[in-house]
Chains A and B, each alone.
Chain A
Amino acid sequence: MNAHNPAIVAKGDTLLSIENVSLAFGGVKALSDISFDIRKGEIRAIIGPNGAGKTSMLNVINGFYHPQQGRILFQGRTRAKMRPHEAAAGGIARTFQNVALFRGMSALDNIMAGRTLAMHSNFFWQLLRYGPAMQEEVVHRRRVEEIIDFLEIAAIRKTPVGRLPYGLQKRVELGRALAMEPQLLLLDEPMAGMNLEEKEDMSRFIIDVNHQFGTTIALIEHDMGVVMDLSDRVVVLDYGRKIADGTPTEIMANQKVIDAYLGVAH
């Protein structure tokens, strides 16, 4: 898991910066004039009420949507219009709000799928499971097993994910994202629909990923307690606009944020 390129961006420097990004679907403005940055090695939370544009923001970052205005710098370079798989190859991995796994495949195969981009052997070798393909499989399987060990899911390695409880499916999904050894990991509501124990487990894994692998993490989350505990910095969106940006303590004291969450008399 140490195959990141630490030389490119040092810890604490800006890994990704969003500059004046606007996104509209026809007449609906999803994001307007948003700027913020994500620093190498931090956990950055994106929060906001329903419909604030959080998931749109994530989709812009990983290339699923293309903003009409503004630009995105990743590792210091302006990013051209790119497709999600190009973003993935560039080191951005994500998990989804709804679990998006191959339900009929085992946990192991799902995580193995996360390594597709790192596999280079010829399709025909792979078909034969022989020669370079086999050697490659062994190397990648080892990486995947390390992730399985890390996420403590050895017992369900061979269970089809469709049969797993929700909390474990989320963990497998995190495993698949980790298998890409990303520079930047995007987590879209990793704790939605979980009970307290599952949330605690997931929080611990997120912190461990960040500490141990040094992976930069951007996460969307509704549970304020979780956000405030986990993140280094928080950006708050409301109706597609950025209304606040700062450390959890600053955010909690920010009047605009309080108004956005509790509503205000007009």
Chain B
Amino acid sequence: MQPAARADKAAMATTAAEAGLADTFPKLLIHNAAALRGRPAIRHKDLGIWHTWNWDQVLEEVRAFSAGLSTLGLQRGEKVAVIGANRPRLYWTMCAVQALGGIPVPIYADSVADEMAYVLEHAEISIAVVEDQEQVDKILSVSEREPRLSYVIYDEQRGLRDYDHTRLKSFADVQDIGRKLFAEDSAASANWQASVDQGKGADLAVILYTSGTTGRPKGVMLSFDNLIVSVHNGNLFDNLGANEEVIAYLPLAWVGDHVFSYGQSYVAGYCVNCPEAGETVVEDRREVGTTYAFAPPRVYENLLTLTMVRMEDASKLKRRMFNFFIEHARRWGEKILDREPVPFHARFVYWLGDALVYAPLKNRYGLSRIRVGYTAGEAIGPEIFRFYRSLGINLKQLYGQTEASVYITAQPDGEIYADTVGKPNIGVDIKIADSGEVLFKSPGVFVGYFKDPERTAETKTADGWVRTGDAGFIDDKTGHLKIIDRAKDVGKLSDGTLFAPKYLENKLKFYPNIKEAVAVGDKQGFVTAMLNIDLVAVGSWAERNNIVYGTYQELAGHRQVYDMLAEHVAEVNRSLAGEKAMAGAQIRRFLILPKELDADDGELTRTMKVRRSLISDRYASLITALYDGSKEAAISTEMTFEDGRKGSISARVAVRDMPVVGAVNPMGQAA
């Protein structure tokens, strides 16, 4: 087949066979062992040294473990739990199980014994392969509740020597059983091959339990076709080949890791690096020099914070150099990355900055060789996003779900925006429902939730679309998808305009001066907002501008603080005006709350999410003022101090009107 035709063909393919690929992971492994003989498949840093296994060596390890498992009695269709950190043996387990027609079920390693028991029970686990004593202890503590569980196999021996080994085996022992079988039984090799051949693309490849913010976790069933076609399309999208290096450090049970560190690697043939420990990832990444990376925003945030903290300790000269070149990169870096025309002078200074600051910095992050970096999971702050891009790191955004085998949309190279999640991936169709919910259709659409047809039917429509549960819209200018909020949180204004509180709040919270924001507007005539100032940022601003204040409340009520925040709100309104779907949701009025929203007062959850219903009850008088046109309102509420004592706070809070940008229907009766 011609290469050009291959991409088109791939876009059409819904099964691995149609895409011209081996249709299960064990078959891919056998293919790679021959085609990529002698090339690295996986590395693991142990006792300070990187150990490498080539594709042919991985096949030998997987075969031995697989045969060992069959001797222990693993049957086709049985489920095997995989629990632990990112280690080669746990990835091999998945392939070894699949070779026998079994189904690996990775479980979050940090779940407590009870949560684990639920999944072990629900997934009908017969064998568990785990990393170490910690996991063994957890499983043994619930094992009497799991009559199906026949064996627990561990990777790390430490602390387990004196345990009762009747149902406990070490990974190496099981491999020995397998190797002995191959040595003694001449038919064993053919039997194993036959078992691999029996696997088909439509078979179940894996069950991934989604952590689920409400209710019990759901087991998402994905077939080989789902995964292989999706990751193949993902590889084509970003042009990923056998030369990539990735570092595997995200939870095994998360679909992202399963796809990036297992699926894509098997299909593209690239090398996966397992770090020494969770805390050494930054250093390990630096040693490896990854070319393809995937991380939730907090990883990038942490790296940036670490840099800023370190720079505080640096010498004055270094600090000035850092600040100068970072400022320069902020102005020109993204333009250079996107190949826009840039004056020679700026290009030269950027080149100098690269030699002195950017390259050493990227080296520290382990991103010197990065070609494609993704952030996903939640919204990333535009400042952070631009910082990395300005250094020349090709950071992009991706939107995906377990139910889609990850890929729904991603940003193509050269079309990067801080506030979109990109275009549909190869082979993916998306549409927006009337409610604003995003629906998709793709070869990666999951088979169903394990033992839960009811919820499967709720999520999958009759004609093959899948509800994401997220609300979004297609941006006119870029043609990219923008995700605004969870669909259930999205409301409507009284004139039918879409109102996505979190979308507005995120836009507001990206300003350092605004710590927390609550947007109000569901079933109202227009949108209003209640803001919390960030005491550190606004406090230091006040100090620089000689503004005297005694308390948080006084600072929050200061006229000049209102002026400053009004500018931020005006900017948000301007950016909303540029988006057709959101233009009607501009903020008409806002106020600054006299106290910080606090988890101790129940206004935020422990993970710092706003509790809307409680806030609208407690601050009802302020919300009334926001909508009845008054310039000021009184509020009296309870607050809990750090030491647990309760006090009350009462204040008069000013309400500020905001002009609306662009042509919007004249609904603001109070404005």
Seen from chain A, the residues whose Cβ lies within 8 Å of a Cβ on chain B are: 141-142, 145-146, 148-150, 152, 154-155, 157-158, 208, 211-212
Contact = CB atoms under 8 A, between A and B. Distances in A.
Given A208-B159, A212-B159, A152 B48 contact: no
Q: Is chain B's interface secondary structure helix, strand, loop, or mixed overall?
A: loop
A266 to B, nearest CB: 42
Q: Is chain A's interface secondary structure helix, strand, loop, or mixed overall?
A: helix
A154 B159 contact: no
A196 B200 CA distance: 54
Which of B48, B158, B279, B280 has the most chain A CB atoms inside 10 A of its CB?
B48
B244 interface: no
Contacts of A141: 48
A155 B47 contact: no
A152 B280 CA distance: 11
Pick the 3 closest A-B CB pairs, nearest first.
Answer: A155-B279, A145-B47, A145-B48
Interface string B21-47: 000000000000000000000000011
Contacts of A146: 47
Contacts of B257: none
B158 A212 contact: yes
B575 to A, nearest CB: 41
Contact of B283 (A145, A152, A155, A208): A155
Nearest to B49: A145
Contacts of A208: 159
Contacts of A155: 277, 279-280, 283
B276 interface: yes
Nearest to A158: B283
Contacts of B280: 154-155
26 contacts: A141-B48, A142-B47, A145-B47, A145-B48, A145-B49, A146-B47, A148-B47, A148-B48, A149-B46, A149-B47, A150-B158, A152-B277, A154-B48, A154-B276, A154-B277, A154-B279, A154-B280, A155-B277, A155-B279, A155-B283, A157-B48, A158-B283, A208-B159, A211-B159, A212-B158, A212-B159
A212 B47 CA distance: 18
Contacts of B277: 152, 154-155
Nearest to B280: A155
Interface in B556-581: none
A257 to B, nearest CB: 34
A141 B159 CA distance: 22
A212 B158 CA distance: 8
Nearest to A150: B158
Nearest to A146: B47
Nearest to B162: A211
Contacts of A150: 158
A208 B158 CA distance: 10
Interface residues of B, number: 11
A193 B308 CA distance: 30
A145 B47 CA distance: 5
Nearest to B46: A149
A174 B605 CA distance: 41
Contacts of B283: 155, 158
Nearest to B278: A155
A105 B47 CA distance: 19
Contacts of A148: 47-48
A181 B515 CA distance: 54
A142 B159 CA distance: 20
A145 B48 CA distance: 7
A186 to B, nearest CB: 24
A146 B158 CA distance: 11
Interface in B266-280: 276-277, 279-280
Interface string B274-315: 001101100100000000000000000000000000000000
A97 to B, nearest CB: 28
Interface string B239-274: 000000000000000000000000000000000000
Given A141-B48, A148-B47, 15 more contacts: A142-B47, A145-B48, A148-B48, A149-B46, A149-B47, A150-B158, A152-B277, A154-B276, A154-B277, A154-B280, A155-B279, A157-B48, A211-B159, A212-B158, A212-B159
Nearest to B48: A145
Nearest to B276: A154
A167 to B, nearest CB: 14
Interface in B74-98: none
Contacts of B158: 150, 212
Contacts of B279: 154-155
A217 B154 CA distance: 30
A157 B158 CA distance: 21
A148 B48 CA distance: 9
A11 to B, nearest CB: 14
B134 to A, nearest CB: 12
Contacts of A142: 47
B606 to A, nearest CB: 20
A261 B159 CA distance: 37
Contacts of B48: 141, 145, 148, 154, 157
B354 to A, nearest CB: 26
A152 B85 CA distance: 15
Contacts of A145: 47-49
A148 B49 CA distance: 13
A154 B47 CA distance: 8
Nearest to A152: B277
A188 to B, nearest CB: 27
Contacts of B276: 154
Contacts of B159: 208, 211-212
Nearest to B282: A155
A149 B159 CA distance: 13
A158 B46 CA distance: 15
Interface in B173-218: none
A16 to B, nearest CB: 26
A154 B49 CA distance: 11
A154 B46 CA distance: 10
Nearest to A108: B48
Contacts of A158: 283
Contacts of B47: 142, 145-146, 148-149
Nearest to B156: A149
B549 to A, nearest CB: 35
A70 to B, nearest CB: 38
A211 B280 CA distance: 27
A2 B55 CA distance: 34
Nearest to A141: B48
Nearest to B279: A155
A150 to B, nearest CB: 8
A148 B279 CA distance: 13
Contacts of B46: 149
A151 B47 CA distance: 12
A107 B280 CA distance: 15
Contacts of B49: 145
A153 to B, nearest CB: 9
Interface string B152-168: 00000011000000000
Which of A148, A154, A208 has the most chain B CB atoms inside 10 A of its CB?
A154
A155 B285 CA distance: 13
B622 to A, nearest CB: 42
Nearest to B283: A155
A221 B2 CA distance: 75
Contacts of A211: 159
